[in-house]
Amino acid sequence: MSLVELIARADERALAASGLACVDRCVPLLGGEDEMLRPLWAALAEDDGGAEDDWAKRLERLRGTLAGPGEHRGGAAEEEAALLAHRMLAAAPEGRSAEGMRVWADTCSVASLRIHRLLEPAPDGADGEPACVDAGREGRTEDMPPLVAAELRRQITVLELLTGHGTAGLRQALEVAAEGRRVLRAVVSRRERGHG
């Protein structure tokens, strides 16, 4: 099943986890700590009636601790990637309706793939990013750069974990996000050294 199909069929919790995992993998561009999104993950794990209020309050607190996109040691690609990461977090809905979360999950999916595409340009320098992202989300993964292909696999894995295991899949989804975050942090660090 393609990523687009998985997003279309997912429930509210899976969609929220999908969007959150995309943001989590891009934390190196947000200027925050690795564990800064833990309170939101915890809110997704709660099943009581106050879970939605907890999500909204924790989201508001998190936004208050982060400044907007700052200066990055790098070029235009790094700046655009950081801006996309901040927009993902800014777009997170305070309510946890399935429809609102579906829009956010889809937005985060595209933004995170674009970020990975920006930070790993095609070897020939061609700017095929939009087509590459759209095709990959629809299941056509040939010719995808490795960094983008790996991010696509992580997005699919998170949705499959939550769809197949419900709340029990959250811990594994968090591990997938952490792995992707480590990869992106290494990429960002390498690019910063290159611009240094």
Residue 12: the pLDDT is: 93
Q: Is 73 left (phi over 0), alpha (psi -120 to 50) or beta?
A: beta
Residue 73: the pLDDT is: 59
Residue 191: the pLDDT is: 85
For the entire predicted model, the pTM comes to 0.90
Name the domain count of the chain.
1
Per-block mean pLDDT, blocks of 10 residues, the chain (196 long): 95 95 94 90 78 86 74 76 94 93 97 94 52 82 88 96 89 95 92 75
Tokens (6 digits) for 163: 């769809």
Residue among 193, 114, 106, 96 nearest 151 (CA): 114
Residue among 154, 145, 110, 143 nearest 4 (CA): 110
Residue 130: the pLDDT is: 62
Residue 75: the pLDDT is: 79
Residue labelled with tokens 């968090």: 174
CATH number at residue 26: 1.20.1590
Q: Which amino acid is at 100?
A: G
Residues in CB range of 164: below 8 A, 6 or more apart: none
Query: Which residues span the domain enclosing 65?
Result: 3-122+130-195
